Amino acid sequence: MGLFSFLTQELAIDLGTANTIIIHNDKIVVDEPSIVAIDQKSGKLIAIGERARQMHGKTHENIKTIRPLRDGVIADFNAAEQMIRGMIKIINSKPSIFSPSLKMVVCIPSGSTEVEVRAVRDSSEHAGGRDVFLIFEPMAASIGIGIDVESPEGSMIIDIGGGTTEIAVIALGGIVCNKSIRVAGDGFTADIQSYMRHQHSIKIGDRTAEEIKINVGSALADLDNPPQDYIVRGPNLMTAMPVEIPVSYQEIAHCLDKSISKIESAILNVLEQTPPELYADIVNRGINLAGGGALLRGLSKRLTDKINIPFHIAEDPLHAVARGTAIALKNVDKFSFLMR
């Protein structure tokens, strides 16, 4: 530690489509939805995170809520930069003479193009990052779960986030084969919205669809301990009169079936590309599930039955990527070969 080490602040950032998590000194200091509210006239930031989420879908013409990330990549450069800056400000709320220089490790989807990688790096640097390192999400998730990524034994990780599902086989500190598909939590939410519109003629927003997913979302139509039906209120599309509709988990399992099948075929696709020696390791050790999507009821059972390899849900799957990013930040020298 140098004399000026106290002037350097180290942050691990999981910049997600749905939530952004920042870890500082081994503590989660920010865990907020990735959304900002901006004043249309002045372009000024009004709110970020949970406060902005509460405004989402309820704003008037002067306020605009923006989700800067779509499908795991930055869609709105300016909003992303404001969001990162605002979230860093939450940590450094105490006024101080020195503004510390920031050292960050940010994780990115494994399927990111050079342009997308550049956008994350630029946004982080504009938000005040002096040393910015990037690490791929499946690698960060594996480290966060406690897998020894440098061992010659292969392990497979599936990280179902908000915008992308990352599937990767990892051995000897590198990604051997991987696939990143844009079917994940947001896709499930959109499926539920369109199902409610077509099946029940009721119009619902993103937030209500998200609530349905959390309360009665399921990957199987036959669960051992099923959740209660969830009551949805909204306008009938034909008459605009208010209606109340109970939604059961079987309906949601049916409506998410197509998207989950896409994830299944992507997993099989990666297994096909896996070298036979590593394939044997994966069958022995099972496949790890991380990310918010891993919490979908019955998902691990459905995948285990379909693929014949045991699937294990990571403990605290929502924060696995962020924790792995924090460990990589602590050992930047050791993990430098993983960084971009």
Mean pLDDT score of the chain:
91
Q: What percent of the chain has pLDDT over 90?
A: 70
Look at the block and give the residue holding tokens 């050791």. 334
Evaluate if residue 2 carries a pLDDT over 50. Answer: no
pLDDT of residue 89: 86
Tell me the CATH class for 5-140+321-338: alpha beta
Evaluate if residue 296 carries a pLDDT over 60. Answer: yes
* 276-290 pLDDT tens trace: 999 999 999 999 999
Q: Where in the chain is the domain with CATH 3.90.640.10?
A: 185-255
Q: Where in the chain is the domain with CATH 3.30.420.40?
A: 5-140+321-338, 150-181+259-314
- pLDDT, mean of residues 167-181: 93
Tell me the CATH class for 185-255: alpha beta
Rounded Cα distance, 320 and 328, in Å: 12
Report residue 3's pLDDT band, with 50, 70 and 90 as the boundaries.
very low
- The residues near 253 (Cβ < 8 Å, ≥ 6 apart) are 218, 219, 220, 221, 298
pLDDT of residue 1: 43
Tokens of 339: 């960084």
* 221-241 pLDDT tens trace: 999 999 999 999 999 999 999
pLDDT of residue 326: 94
Residues 128/85, Cβ–Cβ less than 8 Å: yes
Evaluate if residue 259 carries a pLDDT over 70. Answer: yes
- The residues near 170 (Cβ < 8 Å, ≥ 6 apart) are 138, 139, 142, 147, 149, 154, 155, 156, 157, 176
Rounded Cα distance, 112 and 162, in Å: 15
Fold of 150-181+259-314: Nucleotidyltransferase; domain 5 (3.30.420)
